[in-house]
Amino acid sequence: MAPMTPMDESAPSSEPAPSRRRAKVVSALRVATLAALLAVAWVVADQTGLRDSMTQDGIREMTSDAGALGALAYLVSFAIGQLAQLPGAAFVLAARVAYGPVIGFLLAYTGALLSVSVSFFFVRGVGGRALTGLKWKWAQRVLARLDARPVLTIIVLRTLFALSPPLNYALAMSSTRFRHYFAGSAIGLVAPIAVYVFLSDFLLSCATGIL
């Protein structure tokens, strides 16, 4: 009698394995939790008036009122503000007005790196690497490029989009490692922050003259 041949375990199955189903459910729950927390942060910032107060003048006044702890207050508010989707440009310009171009640049640059780092760890900790499971072809192409050249890709993204909170969230939920994320952000943020700090007066005067 011919020996029985084992079933081909490599054949595709119409149903995903239980472990894959559980992983998808857990990933979906983590993303939903992250979205809920970010929405709550946005609502709290809006309803408490924090969003309205975190303007260039409001941030400058806050650092002035804090006295010697003004720089520390600035850094903490910058990091929290990014999680609440507050505009990073307001923090950069406030540092320029309150501390001058040189110290303002150094403080704004430090605050920017701190804020994107806090966003990374918070989003990665809650949402995980949810974007790695996307099946859309365009998303897979973007993620493949990010995996192949993570630092260079992040440099380009930071140069174009600077401190955009959605960019922070998307990069944190990708497969990129923090050291690549930080290195790319550190290089890519130099140019946009320098433009805000050193060329803001010039650009404003040009806009005023045109108008």
Q: Where are the domains of the chain?
A: 22-210
Please write down the HEC assignment for all residues of the chain. CCCCCCCCCCCCCCCCCHHHHHHHHHHHHHHHHHHHHHHHHHHHHHHCCHHHHCCHHHHHHHHHHCHHHHHHHHHHHHHHHHHCCCCHHHHHHHHHHHHCHHHHHHHHHHHHHHHHHHHHHHHHHHHCCHHHHCCCHHHHHHHHHHHHCHHHHHHHHHHHHCCCHHHHHHHHCCCCCHHHHHHHHHHHCHHHHHHHHHHHHHHHHHHHHHC
One digit per residue, the tens of pLDDT, for the chain of length 211 reads: 445 444 444 444 444 566 777 767 777 788 888 888 888 887 877 777 766 666 667 777 777 777 778 889 889 889 988 888 888 888 898 888 888 889 999 999 999 999 999 999 999 999 888 777 666 665 667 777 888 899 999 999 999 999 988 899 889 988 899 999 999 999 999 999 999 888 876 655 554 444 4
